[in-house]
Amino acid sequence: MGGLLGLVAVARMFTGPFQLAGIPVNVPLNPEGSFGLAMTVLLAWRTTKHVEAPVVAPTRLALAACGAALVSVISQTRVVGLYFLSDDFYLLRQTREWTWERLVPLFTGGGGDGFFRPIGLLSMAVNAAWAGNDPRLWHLSSVILHTSNVVLVTWLAGRLGLRWYTAFLAGALFAVHGTHPEAAAWIAGRFDLLAVFFTVGGMLLFTFERRWTQLAALACCLCAVLSKEAAFVFPFLLLLMLRLQRRPVRASIPFFVLTALAFLYRWILQGGIGGYVSAETGRPSAFTLGLGSTAKVVFVRLWTSLYFPINWSVEPKPLLAVLALAMVAAVLFLAARSRPGPIIWFALAALLVSILPPLHLLGGAADLSGGRLLYLPSVWFCLMLAAAVEGVPGKAARAACAAAILLFHWTSLQYNLDSWEIASREVRKICSTATEDAPPSSLPGYIRGVPAMANAFPECLRPDAPK
């Protein structure tokens, strides 16, 4: 049944909207998500309990990480040419007004906007010192940071027991996953990039079991939670990793204590949990999520975005439809033939833990808006698929599955970046021609799901704003 739903989604890409047994199929989010959930359950069900993790030679793992980094750089080349969008202008003004006298208040005062992300803001202040108002340099920084995360994901995959070639697949798939433009191509996504950098980096350091690496991992944990709220799951991810490696779970206690203290400190500064405030209730939106919405996100829309990261604002091209068919076939083959190791359960549990902080904001939008919220969860999704590929018998079958999955997600990323380029050109045009006395009659907050003029117009008209 799950396979048929996947084919329904692919058929929609080939034919356009149609009806199936009297049911209209316009934007196939539910078939996509149901397919993804069914395949995930099958992969988890087929897991073998006892698989001896291979010891991967550091040189091979280093080569795998370099290969994944190359994939990342090539796939993200277009990002460097983008202009600033939406919240970028506000953040740029903050960095232009930065002085080192503000360093201590950055860590001792509340965020003022419901968030407390001093490491992220400090990173932008340092970035501004050499990037100025040049969007190319700012986006180059984002590509470098995203590529650094790709290297860390690859290396962590190898340390957790994947062979070098499937560790490469995990990193390469993370490099090109279609939900990532909002984190890697938007300056305001810097907080997500840093949260993953410190989270994955800290977990990687912890695998080396030396005193200094444990202390460095603890420092990474603190930097992660001071970069973005999503990283407060760090100790829980570490606990899952300890269970996978059959190490004493008491080693995670310092991380739970540190995270609890950081959360308490943040609570005191913010005067509460903080976060976005609902216009209807006046309370943080975390308290407005209903049971039905939660179930829909967890059981359908989450898997829609992870398996089919497609911006449905525009019709998919035929090439994307062909590759989607190949991807569906590959995943069906994995679900039928793969016998992955216990790392599948770790990846699935880590994924579900990682969606908890942004759960109230996840909706699986058809235009992939909010995709940055899946930046950390997608780490574990890529690890899960890589582990599934490793569990397939036969080199040729593994290579075919890996190629089909990777090519589909590469093409999805490029397809989604088309919308970012269009939005970028439109925002540059508006900011260069409009004036305060004669603003555009209609300012697009979003263009094809891409943050455009929301929160941007007054800032982009300032004399010191980038032109």
Residue 466 lies in a domain: no
Residue 78 lies in a domain: yes
Residue 288 lies in a domain: yes
Residues composing the chain: 467
What are the structure tokens assigned to 357, written together? 């902080």
Write the Ramachandran bin of 438: left for phi over 0, alpha for psi from -120 to 50, otherwise beta: beta
Residue 47 lies in a domain: yes
- Secondary structure letter of residue 301 according to DSSP: I
User: What's residue 75's pLDDT?
Assistant: 96
Residue 212: C-alpha distances to residues 74, 157, 161, 414 (Å): 35, 21, 23, 41
* Number of Cβ within a 10 Å radius of residue 400: 17
User: What's residue 4's pLDDT?
Assistant: 84
Tally of domains in the chain: 1
Residue 107 lies in a domain: yes
Residue 25 lies in a domain: yes
Instruction: Give me the residues paired with residue 277 across strands.
Output: 284
Instruction: Give me the residues paired with residue 25 across strands.
Output: 18
Residue 465 lies in a domain: no
What is the per-residue burial (b if ≥16 Cβ within 10 Å, else e) of 358-382? bbbebebbbbbbbbbbbbbbbbbbb
The domain in which residue 194 lies consists of 2-460
User: What's residue 378's pLDDT?
Assistant: 97
What are the structure tokens assigned to 198, written together? 């410190």
Residue 127 lies in a domain: yes
Neighbouring residues of 150: CB distance < 8 A, sequence distance ≥ 6: 65, 68, 69, 71, 72, 171, 172, 174, 175
User: Which residues in the chain land under pLDDT 70?
Assistant: 1-2, 49-55, 111-113, 275-292, 435-442, 463-465, 467
Q: Taking the alpha carbons of 263, 269, 272, 277 in that order, is the dihedral positive or negative?
A: negative
pLDDT tens-place string over residues 169-220: 999 999 999 999 999 999 999 999 999 999 999 999 999 988 999 999 999 9
